Amino acid sequence: MKFHQLILAGFHEPKKLAAFRLLPIGRVIRFVFFFILLMTLISFFRFVFGDVALFEASPELEEYSKTIGGLLYPMAFIFQFVIATFYVFVRISIFAGIGMLIGKIRKKRVEYRFLWRTTAIAATVPLFLTIVLDFFPSAETISLALSSFIHICYIFVSLKYYPNAPK
């Protein structure tokens, strides 16, 4: 399956979300790293063009940023990439755990490794929503709750197409 097909299916095809549990883990990881790179690039460009005020909080930090000069930008990119990687992988892992609970309640045959893959692809809409809402500081408080709710809904709907647990 091509990359753009994964993105489109992540938006509106819960039956395919359930089928994505059978994808090779390497393809799912590449899909996740696409969002990590996207989040990192957007965050980095906002930092470079001054949209996000990072060093105004402390004069010591502002002076330190002037001291390191040109090293500031590669370091910022690397730190943003590491933080985005941590955020996305922890988020997917937590929601896969929540999906395990939902699957057990719905009496579906769920394994964490398969549900993690489904959850990673189901994160398409919530991650796009997180990226968009990041541009609106007033929506910061509702952003996490809204994207989490949507993520759980996508997992819930895709679990409908998982096989039933043996009796």
Residue 39 has pLDDT above 80, yes or no: yes
In a domain, 93, yes or no: yes
Per residue in 70-127, pLDDT tens? 788 888 899 899 999 999 999 999 999 999 999 999 999 999 999 999 999 888 889 8
In a domain, 132, yes or no: yes
In a domain, 89, yes or no: yes
Tell me what pLDDT residue 161 has.
87
In a domain, 164, yes or no: no
In a domain, 115, yes or no: yes
Half-sphere exposure of 102 (CA within 13 A, CB side): 19
Please check whether residue 3 is in contact with residue 147, taking contact to mean a CB–CB distance below 8 angstroms. no
- Mean pLDDT calculated for residue range 7-16: 74
Number of domains in the chain: 1
In a domain, 41, yes or no: yes
In a domain, 32, yes or no: yes
- Mean pLDDT calculated for residue range 151-163: 90
In a domain, 92, yes or no: yes
Strand partners, 108: 164
Domain span at 84: 3-159
Per residue, what are the HEC states of the chain? CCHHHHHHHHHHCHHHHHHHHHCCHHHHHHHHHHHHHHHHHHHHHHHHCCCCCCCCCCHHHHHHHHHHHHHHHHHHHHHHHHHHHHHHHHHHHHHHHHHHHHHHHCCECCCHHHHHHHHHHHCHHHHHHHHHHCCCHHHHHHHHHHHHHHHHHHHHHHHCCCCECCC
Query: Which amino acid, residue 10?
Result: G
